Chains A and B, each alone.
Chain A
Amino acid sequence: MANAAESDQSVYYVPHNGWYPVVLAFGVMLMLTGFGTWLNETKAGEAGSWTQSIIGFAIFAVVLYFWFGKVIVENHQGLANDQLKRSYVWGMGWFIFSEVMFFAAFFGALFYVRVLVVPWLGGEGGKAMTGEYLWPEFTAAWPVVTNPDPSLFPNPIESMAAPSVTSWASYLPFWNTVILLTSSWTVHVAHSAIKEENRKKLITWLGITVLLGIIFLILQAEEYIVAYNDMGLTLGSGIYGSTFFILTGFHGFHVTLGTIILMVQWFRSMKGHFGPKDCFGFEAASWYWHFVDVVWVGLFIFVYVL
């Protein structure tokens, strides 16, 4: 059913107008101010309310649903010519680049802390006096399981650092790596299924990818539960916990988004969308998925192993 209508390829489709963007912006505003109010109320020890942020999020989600729906319908009507589709490709590509830079900020923080801050606090290097004056007892080590001032930032009992390679079989992050790498491959198989016009294969392999994404998220949740309950490793347990949770947390958040996006593509495949020459929605989702996969590899190396 793709490209049902004949399209005039020379015309770049410019939609006349629409209410989606401004309502979306309003929803985002409601969501964030509601969340901010909740944060401040909780910090002040009051019982905060989620109502406003949930309404804002609902507006945001509903508008996105209609917006993407409309773009899909327009494409099926043949309004999107090849040039417009190239705009989408550029758009998605550079959006992913901006996401890379978002993670770069957190990776940058991790490297700066590991290479410079912790040694300085431990009394080495150009700022050795920092350590001498502030916490002379503190010894530099990574992972930081003994904080400079444990009365403010309680020490974790242990870190998430990887054991020796021989015992990776019982190391959860290793299996998470296997799962995500496999899912990058399964989404690729689903993509070739589109090229081969094999819908059954597409639905199967895309379904497997979504499933792997969900399993990853469940395992990640399990890891967090263990960290909080058994290891004393929390957001508040010093710089190790801070970097660990912000990196894995935002990655997990992106996996959640990626899984939802893939799920949408899965439902679309069931409805008969996508053809070998017209599958931008699927491709964008799979690029995003490969991106979260690559970030995970970086995480596994620098947060868990090294």
Chain B
Amino acid sequence: MSEVIHADHHDDHHDHGPDKGLARWLFTTNHKDIGTLYLWFSFLMFLIGGVMALVIRAELFQPGLQFVSPEFFNQMTTNHGLIMVFGAIMPAFVGLANWLVPMQVGAPDMALPRMNNLSFWILPFAFGIMISTLFMEGGGPNFGWTFYAPLSTTYAPDSVTFFIFAVHMMGASSIMGSINIIATILNMRAPGMTLMKMPLFVWTWLITAYLLLAVMPVLAGVVTMMLFDIHFGTSFFNAAGGGDPVMFQHIFWFFGHPEVYIMILPAFGVISHIIPAFSRKPLFGYDSMVYAVASIAFLSFIVWAHHMFTVGMPLAGQLFFMYATMLIAVPTGVKVFNWTATMWKGSMTFETPMLFAIAFVILFTIGGFSGLMLAITPADYQYHDTYFVVAHFHYVLVPGALFSIIAAVYFWFPKWTGKMYNETLGKLHFWLSFIGVNVTFFPQHFSGLAGMPRRIPDYALQFADFNMLSSVGAFIFGFSQVFFLYVIIHGIRSGQKASDRAWEGARGLEWTLPSPAPYHSFTHPPQVTDEEAHA
């Protein structure tokens, strides 16, 4: 952990390799180390959140109360959501950003390396606090991942105080991470890497970072108001004092809706790299992709109340939020069209990353369509708080965001490790995941349309078949992700050596580096050629 600065040979550190042992991971300022930490941390959280999901699915395998109490069931749904959103998906994308953005823009590292380390190391502490609430007197948070007041204030368990501080810490981590990504992208690009030559993963992350900067402080604000309502006697969310519980929902969803795009925009970036690589064609409509992402990000700020149509709001508000929501389908359609057009007449091959990417396009589109259905206010009155909503957002988050992360891991695995994973095992993982995810979530559309409410531990008999199917799918999916861990470890330990470019169709500065990428890449900026731009 030497931090000695050699004033006369101050660029000595560029020759340093990583430190030995634990110190490397605790004290590192290296974007690749920090990226690795983020990715492994998010995988751990994914497994923990996944076990919670399986507790839920085990309980719902049959009607009646089987394994857990309704109180504990509520804690599971709440923590499953929070851990998957804040602990698995978001940190995984930040991990990808850490690994890829500096290499893709030709920078030596992230712009603010020490703060980068801080952004990561806050997270284990924050999630340590959050998971510890499950073992506290009165139990952990049980009010759903959206923590609506007054469930999360007047009627909350005592552990809500710690939940609030954990959210504050996650917010601080995200804000620092975003600032770092923005500074890196805007200030650290190699000469010739103009904005409209940036790889789409970099573009999508730049826009995502702005979304995070704009809404994470609002989340901090709303949990702070909760804290004050709980401990200092304020009445923000209590009508008896002139406040309003519905106000909680407005502020929460002002954060919450951009948040769902925070979880999907980087996925768009990943898919926009993988599909051209395996279609052996440049991405169709690069410029329109950039503008589409920017439009989606803008629209995400003016649609929040579509999550709360049934709570009661003026008609004008319902109409506005309905139409604004439907408008998002336009730029999203542009993206789906462009991905499809990229594949059109390409010489396609179907390696594991490509399989996940194609599944992403199809299944994310299904999730998008059910989103359109939910956007229709009068129809939403029927769908609200049913399993249809659960099916919708799991389609965009699991075969959407999560599949893109898995695809990214397979795609850049050779660059990170210098090894190639086993293609047969990868494909097996894909098919197990693909079948698992559809068996789990597709039936939930039907149980939802038939009227099954979400967040209940027991249900009426007519929903039994769909739920049993769903639970079987969930266990297939769960075990196939443990298998994913095996594929990765197998690849790291005994994978074949990968070439520098690894995939013949891959374009971008990162593929000009050796595999595995050296500890310090691009100490001096590379020359950006048209060949490697626009990948």
Residues of A within 8 A of B (CB): 5, 7-8, 10-22, 24-26, 28-29, 32-33, 35-36, 39-40, 42-44, 67, 70, 73-74, 77-79, 83-84, 86-88, 90-91, 94-95, 97-106, 108-109, 112-113, 116-118, 120-121, 125-127, 130, 134-135, 144, 147-149, 152-153, 234-236, 238-243, 245-246
A114 to chain B, nearest CB (A): 10
Inter-chain CA distance A33–B162, complex, in Å, is 7
Indicate if the CB atoms of A21 and B114 lie closer than 8 Å: yes
Within the complex, which residue of B13, B183, B234 is in contact with A91, where a contact is CB–CB below 8 Å? Answer: B183
Indicate if the CB atoms of A32 and B221 lie closer than 8 Å: no
- Encoded as 1 (CB less than 8 Å from any A CB) or 0, chain B from 226 to 263 comes to 01101111111011111110010011001000000000
B91-110 interface (Cβ within 8 A of A): 107-109
B303-317 interface (Cβ within 8 A of A): 312-315
Indicate if the CB atoms of A33 and B218 lie closer than 8 Å: no
Indicate if the CB atoms of A144 and B242 lie closer than 8 Å: yes
Within the complex, which residue of A26, A33, A90 is in contact with B186, where a contact is CB–CB below 8 Å? Answer: A90
For A8, list chain B residues within 8 Å (CB): 10-11
Inter-chain CA distance A135–B26, complex, in Å, is 57
Inter-chain CA distance A11–B115, complex, in Å, is 19
Within the complex, which residue of B117, B126, B161, B164 is in contact with A22, where a contact is CB–CB below 8 Å? Answer: B117
Indicate if the CB atoms of A148 and B242 lie closer than 8 Å: yes
B175-216 interface (Cβ within 8 A of A): 175, 178-180, 182-184, 186-188, 213-216
Given the contacts A19-B27, A109-B236, A235-B232, A149 and B241 also touching, CB distance less than 8 Å: yes
For B117, list chain A residues within 8 Å (CB): 18, 21-22
Name 29 interchain pairs, CB-CB below 8 A, sorted by A. A15-B113, A15-B114, A16-B2, A17-B23, A18-B1, A20-B114, A21-B121, A22-B26, A28-B122, A36-B165, A43-B231, A73-B5, A83-B187, A87-B184, A91-B183, A95-B179, A98-B217, A101-B213, A102-B221, A105-B222, A105-B254, A109-B225, A117-B242, A120-B244, A153-B240, A153-B242, A236-B235, A242-B235, A242-B241
Within the complex, which residue of A118, A152, A242 is in contact with B236, where a contact is CB–CB below 8 Å? Answer: A242
For A35, list chain B residues within 8 Å (CB): 165
The yes or no answer to B461 lying at the interface (CB within 8 A) is: no
Indicate if the CB atoms of B13 and A14 lie closer than 8 Å: yes
For B531, list chain A residues within 8 Å (CB): none
Within the complex, which residue of A18, A83, A238 is in contact with B242, where a contact is CB–CB below 8 Å? Answer: A238
Given the contacts A32-B168, A87-B183, A25 and B122 also touching, CB distance less than 8 Å: yes
For B471, list chain A residues within 8 Å (CB): none
The yes or no answer to B128 lying at the interface (CB within 8 A) is: yes
Within the complex, which residue of B27, B107, B231, B242 is in contact with A17, where a contact is CB–CB below 8 Å? Answer: B27
Inter-chain CA distance A100–B217, complex, in Å, is 8
Indicate if the CB atoms of A239 and B13 lie closer than 8 Å: no
Within the complex, which residue of A32, A83, A117 is in contact with B165, where a contact is CB–CB below 8 Å? Answer: A32
Indicate if the CB atoms of B10 and A13 lie closer than 8 Å: yes
Indicate if the CB atoms of A24 and B118 lie closer than 8 Å: yes
Within the complex, which residue of A29, A101, A108, A147 is in contact with B128, where a contact is CB–CB below 8 Å? Answer: A29
The 9 closest A-B CB pairs, nearest first, are A105-B221, A236-B233, A239-B242, A153-B241, A21-B118, A242-B234, A149-B240, A102-B217, A29-B125
Indicate if the CB atoms of B240 and A90 lie closer than 8 Å: no
B477 to chain A, nearest CB (A): 33
The yes or no answer to B111 lying at the interface (CB within 8 A) is: yes
B179 to chain A, nearest CB (A): 5
Indicate if the CB atoms of B109 and A14 lie closer than 8 Å: yes
Inter-chain CA distance A243–B244, complex, in Å, is 13
For A121, list chain B residues within 8 Å (CB): 239, 242
Within the complex, which residue of A39, A83, A116, A148 is in contact with B231, where a contact is CB–CB below 8 Å? Answer: A39
The yes or no answer to B54 lying at the interface (CB within 8 A) is: no
> Which residue in chain B gives the minimum CB-CB distance to A16?
B13
> Which residue in chain A gives the minimum CB-CB distance to B215?
A101
For A7, list chain B residues within 8 Å (CB): 10
Interface centre among A14, A99, A104, by most B CB within 10 Å? A14
Inter-chain CA distance A1–B221, complex, in Å, is 42
Inter-chain CA distance A115–B96, complex, in Å, is 43
The yes or no answer to B29 lying at the interface (CB within 8 A) is: yes
The yes or no answer to B3 lying at the interface (CB within 8 A) is: yes
Within the complex, which residue of A11, A42, A73, A90 is in contact with B11, where a contact is CB–CB below 8 Å? Answer: A11
A22 to chain B, nearest CB (A): 4
Interface centre among A16, A104, A116, by most B CB within 10 Å? A16
For A24, list chain B residues within 8 Å (CB): 118
For B216, list chain A residues within 8 Å (CB): 98, 101
Indicate if the CB atoms of A239 and B241 lie closer than 8 Å: yes
Indicate if the CB atoms of B313 and A101 lie closer than 8 Å: no
